[in-house]
C-alpha cells in the first residue's frame, strides 16, 4: 500500500469525525485539549492493533492471497458504509445506557449523543467512548491494510491526525452550514464508502 493510498484511506475513514464535529459545533459542546488527546490516543491504539493483527495474518498467507483478502475487506467495509449511510435514520435521543461499546455505536448513528450526560462538555469518559466510535471503521480498514502490506504501519497516526483535523474543521464550519445539510450527513457516508470500494478494486487490479 503506497503513501497516497494511506493518506486517502485515512482521510476517508475520518469522515465520521467531521460529522461529529459539526454536531458538537451546533450543540455548543466544548472539548478540552485533554479530551482531544484521549481521542487521538484511542484512535492510534485501536487502529495500530488492527494493523498489527493484519501483519500477523499476512505472515501465514501468500502475497497474492494477502492482497486479495486485504482488498476484499476494504471493499466490504465500503459497501457496508454506503448501505448504512443510505438506511440511516436520525433516532430519537434516549437516555444514555448500556456499555461503552453500545454507546460508541449509538454515537455513529446519532452524533449528538457524544455528550452522554448532556453537560455541553466532553469529559474524559466521553472522550474514550468517542474515540472508540471514531475508530470502528479504522479497525476493519487497518486489518485489511495490514494484511495487504506496504506502508500500513503509517495508518494509525494518519487516521488519528485526520480525525482531529476534520473534527476541528466540523466544529468551525458548523456555523456556516445550513441546518438541513448538517443534519443529513448520509452523503458523507456514501462518498467515503465509494472511495473505499474503489481503493480495494484498485489494489486487486494492480
Q: Is a pLDDT exceeding 70 seen at residue 183? A: no
Q: Is a pLDDT exceeding 60 seen at residue 38? A: yes
H-run or E-run covering 81: helix 63-87
Mean pLDDT of 8-35: 80
Torsion of CA 105, 131, 190, 109, to 10 degrees: 30
Question: Cβ contacts of residue 24 below 8 Å, gap of 6+?
Answer: 31, 111, 114, 115, 122, 167, 170, 171, 174
Helical axes 136-148 vs 33-59, angle rounded to 10°? 30
Q: Is a pLDDT exceeding 80 seen at residue 28? A: no
Report the pLDDT value the prediction gives residue 104, as an integer from 0 to 100.
62
Residue-wise pLDDT for 5-16, tens only, equals: 788 878 887 777
Q: Is a pLDDT exceeding 50 seen at residue 44? A: yes
Residue by residue, DSSP assigns 40-55 as: HHHHHHHHHHHHHHHH
Report the pLDDT value the prediction gives residue 112, as an integer from 0 to 100.
56
Report the pLDDT value the prediction gives residue 106, as an integer from 0 to 100.
62
Q: How many domains would you assign to the chain?
A: 1
Give the least confident one: 88-102, 141-155, 169-183, 187-201.
88-102
Report the pLDDT value the prediction gives residue 45, as an integer from 0 to 100.
92
Within 13 Å of residue 37, how many CA atoms lie on the same side as its CB?
4
To the nearest whole percent, how much of the chain has pLDDT over 90? 2
Report the pLDDT value the prediction gives residue 111, as an integer from 0 to 100.
55
- Which range has the top average pLDDT, 14-23, 35-44, 168-177? 35-44
Q: Give me 110's grid cell.
A: 446519532
Q: Domain range for residue 199?
A: 3-205
Residue 83: pLDDT band with limits 50, 70, 90: confident
Mean pLDDT of 54-76: 79
Amino acid at each position: 500500500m503506497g503513501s497516497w493510498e494511506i493518506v486517502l484511506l485515512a482521510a476517508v475513514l475520518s469522515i465520521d469525525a467531521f460529522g461529529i464535529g459539526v454536531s458538537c459545533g451546533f450543540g455548543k459542546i466544548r472539548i478540552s485539549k485533554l479530551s482531544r488527546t484521549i481521542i487521538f490516543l484511542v484512535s492510534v491504539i485501536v487502529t495500530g492493533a488492527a494493523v498489527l493483527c493484519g501483519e500477523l495474518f499476512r505472515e501465514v498467507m501468500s502475497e497474492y492471497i494477502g492482497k486479495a483478502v486485504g482488498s476484499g475487506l476494504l471493499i466490504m467495509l465500503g459497501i457496508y458504509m454506503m448501505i448504512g449511510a443510505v438506511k440511516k435514520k436520525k433516532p430519537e435521543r434516549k437516555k444514555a445506557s448500556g456499555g461503552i461499546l453500545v454507546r460508541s455505536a449509538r454515537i455513529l448513528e446519532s452524533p449528538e449523543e457524544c455528550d452522554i450526560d448532556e453537560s455541553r462538555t466532553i469529559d474524559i469518559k466521553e472522550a474514550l467512548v468517542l474515540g472508540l466510535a471514531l475508530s470502528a471503521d479504522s479497525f476493519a480498514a487497518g486489518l485489511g491494510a495490514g494484511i495487504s502490506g506496504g506502508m500500513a504501519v503509517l495508518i494509525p497516526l494518519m487516521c488519528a491526525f485526520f480525525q482531529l483535523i476534520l473534527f476541528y474543521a466540523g466544529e468551525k464550519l458548523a456555523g456556516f452550514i445550513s441546518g438541513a445539510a448538517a443534519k443529513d450527513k448520509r452523503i458523507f457516508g456514501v462518498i467515503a464508502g465509494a472511495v473505499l470500494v474503489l481503493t480495494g478494486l484498485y489494489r486487486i487490479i494492480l
